[in-house]
Structure 1
Amino acid sequence: MELSWLNWLYTAVAWVITQIHSFYSTVLDPNSGLTWALTIISLTICMRILIFPLFLKQMRSSRKMQELAPKVQEIRKRHKNDKQRMNQEVMALYQGAGANPLGGCLPVVAQFPIFISMFTVLRAIAADQAKFGMSQELVDSAKHASIFGAYLPETFWGAPEVSQKIVIGCFVAVSSLTTFLTVRQSVTRSMAQMPDNPMAQQQKILMYISPLFAFFSLNFPLGLIMYWVTTNLWTLGQQHWFYSRHPMPQFDDKGNAIPVEPKPGLIAKLRKSDTSEESAPQAPPEPKIIRQQPQRQSRSKRTGSKKS
């Protein structure tokens, strides 16, 4: 359903798509599937870069909550018979430390308008409507651009050929897999840091149910599925980078967090190996063996004759 009050956002997304497509069209065929695939991938990356500060805020808030986990457990044990008092003290603890339990929703909320805008723009292209500032030439180009024989505006149920359904079905399967891996990466980390979390069972259920939501994308255009796969892959890499830079906190007997050294990245490992090779003591040179060769005597000395 198209929301008229979001027309400004649809127009903005269509404008960005137009500019990115024009850039790639300078070196590639503007009507090719490759050009349009790169356009969608670039749009996704630009959007994820813009909301990167929200991701950092989410992760820092999550890390603070994990550091407060022992104190939260104390509060739960102390007020296990008074849930209202327990929740009040837990929220007060989070607020005092600057942790936001709802911080994890920020990147999802920020992505949702872009997702709706992409869906609306692609639906307009499928309907052959030059809307939101798009030219008819651009609409025709996108409508006839194919990825492995499947067209960008097509859905699984609307594709006329079996081969096109197979291509879209493969993208849906990749979308489901990347969704599962993204949720699993986050849930595994959370459960490792808070093994006695009362929400652990619900998190496990969410981890295994989340891939099923990807199959709703059978009703989405192929271009939108490509957008979702790209954002999942970006999230996987982004979370891996953050988790490697911020290892799980350790706690002492009093429940205080102990600083943990971050794992070195690939570049740091290469630099460390180069430095260790340079700083390693060089082995002393092997002593040069000099063999004593007998001196060659003159002929007169060998024969015993004297010079005249």
Structure 2
Amino acid sequence: MLDWLYEIVAQLIVWIHTGLSTVVPKDSGWAWGGTIILLTVLLRLAMVPLFVKQIHASRKMQELGPEVQKLRKKYKNDKQRLNQEVMKLYQENGANPLSGCLPILVQMPVFIGLFQVLKKISDADEGKGVFAMTADLVKSAQKAPIFGAHIPDTFLNAWGADEKNWTALAITAVAVVISSITTFFTVRASMKRQPVTDENNPMMQAQKMMVFLAPLFGLFGLGFPLGVLMYWVTSNSWTLVQQHYIYSKYPPIGADTNGSGTTKGAPTKSTGTKTKLKKSTEPEPEPEPKPKVVRNQPTRKPRSKRSGSPKR
């Protein structure tokens, strides 16, 4: 079903290997290892626009986070209406939660295609070609030494062999460990970038799952050919560097402020402002109560005294 994909990957390998063969011996590990690394770099360069789109999607989701929380409180007892209102909010603001998953969705077919091509190379009988690769190229790839190991070598096969190839065991084990660690840190970096989270965001759910699956991927890597592990290590290393650069260029919303609405590290306008703010925060002393003024009201004298007539 996916033979067309495998043909494309195999043809890319042939073209890159042919170009490198003009610089290094065509049957060397430098030629075949360099082919895998260069193929990975070219594919990741092609996916840079998707990664930038993922960053913009993440920022848009952060901007809409408070509005989504308001909708949650308003329709907390009606999930169907809540989903409708949230989707309406995303559409009105041009946000797409799934756009953050595009790099992963695009990268997976490449990984599957490369895995299948390298597996076919590893299992190919002598004198057999693989997709766009001739029998001579397949044999050259199988025998090319890469630090004492070969592209078809896997950790499990090297461990289960009667005569263990300790060099192949060491190379594949190191590649598996590096792949697992870099996978964990790339996903963790994506998670830390999103201070305002939406639990129903498919991108967030996929990233949370990836954090816990990173060690499990390491176990799967024990059965991967060295060529696939080289792709994995190169791709993850590229992602770490790319994340550091793009994240510094597009910081998360709110990361450039100190929580008071001003840019972190920005100088204040004047010292008078600081003093005024400081004084406003201190409670003012209560004024002392004024002494009560007692007015002596004249007493009413008897009428007889006012008129001069004797009192009866």
Same fold (TM over 0.5): yes
Q: Which residue of the partner structure matches residue 60 of structure 2?
A: 64
Query: What is the CA–CA distance in structure 1 between the aligned matches of 2:173 and 2:248, rounded to whole Å?
Result: 34
Q: Which amino acid aligns with 2:170?
A: I
Query: What is the CA–CA distance in structure 2 between the aligned matches of 1:95 and 1:259, rounded to whole Å?
Result: 31
Q: Which amino acid aligns with 2:135?
A: Q
- Normalising by the residue count of structure 2, what TM-score does the alignment of the two structures yield? 0.73
- Normalising by the residue count of structure 1, what TM-score does the alignment of the two structures yield? 0.74
Q: Which residue of the partner structure matches residue 17 of structure 1?
A: 13
Q: Which residue of the partner structure matches residue 40 of structure 1?
A: 36
CA contact (8 A) 1:55 1:107 kept: yes
Task: Structure 2 unaligned segments of length 5 or more: list them.
Answer: 256-260, 265-312
Deviation of 1:250 (Å): 3.0
Aligned counterpart for 2:230 among listed residues 226, 229, 238: 226
Residue 180, structure 1, aligned to residue 176, structure 2: no
Query: What is the CA–CA distance in structure 2 between the aligned matches of 1:204 and 1:19, rounded to whole Å?
Result: 38
Output aligned runs, 1:1-308, within 5 Å. 5-128=1-124, 129-159=128-158, 160=161, 161-190=165-194, 193-194=195-196, 206-250=210-254
Q: Which residue of the partner structure matches residue 286 of structure 1?
A: none
Deviation of 1:208 (Å): 3.8
CA contact (8 A) 1:145 1:151 kept: yes
Task: Give the paired residue count.
Answer: 249
Deviation of 1:204 (Å): 5.5
Query: What is the CA–CA distance in structure 2 between the aligned matches of 1:82 and 1:8, rounded to whole Å?
Result: 46
Deviation of 1:138 (Å): 1.0
Secondary structure at 1:250's aligned position in 2?
A: coil
Query: What is the CA–CA distance in structure 1 between the aligned matches of 2:156 and 2:177, rounded to whole Å?
Result: 15
Give aligned-pair identity as a percent: 49
Query: What is the CA–CA distance in structure 2 between the aligned matches of 1:235 and 1:166, rounded to whole Å?
Result: 25
Deviation of 1:97 (Å): 1.2
Residues 197, 114 of structure 1: alpha-carbon distance in 2 compared, 3 angstrom cutoff: closer
Secondary structure at 1:172's aligned position in 2?
A: helix
Query: What is the CA–CA distance in structure 2 between the aligned matches of 1:130 and 1:26, rounded to whole Å?
Result: 22
CA contact (8 A) 2:65 2:198 kept: no
CA contact (8 A) 2:11 2:133 kept: yes
Query: What is the CA–CA distance in structure 1 between the aligned matches of 2:106 and 2:74, rounded to whole Å?
Result: 38
Task: Structure 1 unaligned segments of length 5 or more: list them.
Answer: 252-257, 262-308
Deviation of 1:18 (Å): 0.9
Deviation of 1:88 (Å): 1.6
Query: What is the CA–CA distance in structure 2 between the aligned matches of 1:142 and 1:202, rounded to whole Å?
Result: 36
CA contact (8 A) 2:65 2:197 kept: no
Query: What is the CA–CA distance in structure 2 between the aligned matches of 1:136 and 1:206, rounded to whole Å?
Result: 38
Residues 62, 144 of structure 1: alpha-carbon distance in 2 compared, 3 angstrom cutoff: same
Q: Which amino acid aligns with 1:194?
A: V
Residue by residue over 1:263-297, the C-alpha shift from the partner in whole angstroms, topping out at 9 and shown as x without a partner, is: xxxxxxxxxxxxxxxxxxxxxxxxxxxxxxxxxxx
Query: What is the CA–CA distance in structure 2 between the aligned matches of 1:70 and 1:250, rounded to whole Å?
Result: 13
Deviation of 1:206 (Å): 4.4
Deviation of 1:51 (Å): 2.2
Q: Which amino acid aligns with 2:167?
A: S
CA contact (8 A) 2:13 2:35 kept: yes
Larger Cα Rg: Structure 1 or Structure 2? 2
Deviation of 1:196 (Å): 8.0
- Misfit runs of 4+, over 3 Å: 195-206, 258-261
Deviation of 1:202 (Å): 8.9
Query: What is the CA–CA distance in structure 1 between the aligned matches of 2:208 and 2:107, rounded to whole Å?
Result: 24
CA contact (8 A) 2:190 2:207 kept: no
Query: What is the CA–CA distance in structure 2 between the aligned matches of 1:215 and 1:72, rounded to whole Å?
Result: 38
Deviation of 1:259 (Å): 11
Q: Which residue of the partner structure matches residue 304 of structure 2?
A: none
Residues 198, 151 of structure 1: alpha-carbon distance in 2 compared, 3 angstrom cutoff: same
Deviation of 1:38 (Å): 1.1
Q: Which amino acid aligns with 2:182?
A: T
After superposition, the CA RMSD in angstroms is 2.5
Secondary structure at 2:154's aligned position in 1?
A: coil
